[in-house]
Amino acid sequence: MVWIRNLIAVLVWAGLAALSRPVTGNFSWAVFSFGLGTLLAWHIWQLSRVVRWTRDLQRPPPPSAGLWDEALARIYRHLRSQERQLALLEGNVQGFFAAAQALPDGLVTLDEEFHIDWCNRIARQHLGLRLPADRGQNLLNLVRAPAFVDYARQEDWPAPLLVRSPGGGERLLMVQLISYNKHQRMLLTRDVTQIEKLETTRRDFVANVSHELRTPLTVLAGFLETLRDMPPGALSDEQREQYLKLMLDQAQRMQAIVADLLTLSTLESSPTTDPQPVNMPILIETALSQARALSGGRHAFASDIDADMDVLGTATEISSAISNLIINAVRYTPDDGHITVSWRREADGSARYAVKDTGIGIAAQHLPRLTERFYRVDRSRSRESGGTGLGLAITKHIAMRHEAELDIASELGQGSTFSLRFPESRVVAAEHRTRQ
């Protein structure tokens, strides 16, 4: 031990001074006092260097000797090790903050009285919070929805709560409070608007399908009961024919709905197949012949078809979309109306298949909803003409699977134009047909 050695040296020195006093008189004390004074001065000098060093502890300690050297080296090592630990801790804290910021959900940390400590970016959007301005504010003063305030005041929060976002818009949030130690809580927020919309669509869809099938089923069951309860021979041949026709109509109606539902579900669930060149002029001509047959001479047809232009896609799907639009034109155009079908290249290189009619037209407020399943402007007219309310939903799906756009332009009482616009990348010249 250095300090013991130093102490022994001072004691030996003091002893020698005491022993030599009878011979040397006060001289030895003077030498001893001088030595002690020098030692003290040296220590004071060392101390002042240490004090100077403490003003900037990043520098290595001043070089010294003996006890000072050992003490300073230890202090310096201790400081460096603390610095390393601090950096490690800081890194961890930064990592936690970065992770909390990157969460797809909102996170707010609170004290037991709901004062805001910190929140991530998503929570700011969801709850309209601002940091640092809102730090220390009571969350219940900022999110005032009564349902949320009641929820927060519960003893504990075993389940989440659905609330409208106070951050604006029609956003629906699922929020959950969690107590993670005695004095700290966190609030998690998740945007469930899309999930809720999907759930509503699913519920509406099931209700619509049930409704659509119930009507023909009720009619069919009614006729069957009547027939069962009638005494044999009570029906004339003519009446029997009429009953059977009505029953067949209803059965066919259900068949059409089920077929369209299956088409929709196939379109939604099956992956798109490798696009092949599709002979558009032939598909359009085939659809036109079907439409003429359905019209039975009640409408005038015209066509303007580019015979040398095809598209890349799936023939069965494109054929179904083409027919849906022509058949609708026939259904919703009164007798003597005109129907014009065109297949032309646009100035921007895309190709447009358009069906223009001089029919009943559609009021502007219905246009955005026409491609929803079972949406009809006039329910009874659609039913009378054998519509399922799914044709445009199917067409829209097919368009999406071909990167095409379904455009609808219509004016009430004047007529409509429904068109499918295929991007240039999907358009091919008819030359490929000769190579096939």
| Residues within the interface to ligand ADP (CB under 6 A) | 324, 328-329, 332, 357, 359-360, 362, 370, 376-378, 382, 387-393, 416
Structure token pair of residue 398: 């097919």
Closest approach of ligand ADP to the CB of residue 208, in Å? 12
Nearer to ligand ADP, 397 or 426 (CB): 397
Structure token pair of residue 93: 């804290």
Closest approach of ligand ADP to the CB of residue 264, in Å? 11
Closest approach of ligand ADP to the CB of residue 410, in Å? 6
Beta bridge partner(s), residue 108 = 119, 187
Contact indicator for 17, 10 with CB cutoff of 8 Å: no
59-68 in b/e form (b: 16+ CB < 10 A) is eebeebeeeb
Nearer to ligand ADP, 278 or 362 (CB): 362
Nearer to ligand ADP, 77 or 298 (CB): 298
Nearest Cα to Cα of residue 254 among 221, 290, 291: 221
DSSP 356: E
Q: Based on the number of CB atoms within 10 Å of its own CB, is 245 exposed (0-12), middle (13-18) or buried (19 or more)?
A: exposed
C-alpha radius of gyration, the chain, whole number: 44
Helix-then-strand count for the chain, H and E: 14, 13
Q: Is 403 left (phi over 0), alpha (psi -120 to 50) or beta?
A: left
Nearer to ligand ADP, 61 or 391 (CB): 391
For 16, 27, 234, 281, the CA distances from 19, given in Å and listed in that order, are 5, 12, 153, 130
Nearer to ligand ADP, 203 or 369 (CB): 369
Nearer to ligand ADP, 120 or 419 (CB): 419
Element (H, E) at 173: strand 172-181
Nearer to ligand ADP, 46 or 416 (CB): 416
Closest approach of ligand ADP to the CB of residue 104, in Å? 36
Angle subtended at Cα 303 by Cα 301 and Cα 305, rounded to the nearest 5 degrees: 160
Closest approach of ligand ADP to the CB of residue 387, in Å? 2
- CB-side neighbour CA atoms (13 Å) of 251: 9
Structure token pair of residue 387: 């519509």
Closest approach of ligand ADP to the CB of residue 260, in Å? 8
Contact indicator for 143, 136 with CB cutoff of 8 Å: no
Contact indicator for 132, 122 with CB cutoff of 8 Å: no
Nearer to ligand ADP, 188 or 360 (CB): 360
Closest approach of ligand ADP to the CB of residue 385, in Å? 7
Contact indicator for 385, 331 with CB cutoff of 8 Å: yes
Nearer to ligand ADP, 250 or 382 (CB): 382
Q: Which residue do the tokens 């998503």 mark?
A: 122
Closest approach of ligand ADP to the CB of residue 352, in Å? 16
Closest approach of ligand ADP to the CB of residue 358, in Å? 10
Closest approach of ligand ADP to the CB of residue 168, in Å? 34
Nearer to ligand ADP, 107 or 393 (CB): 393
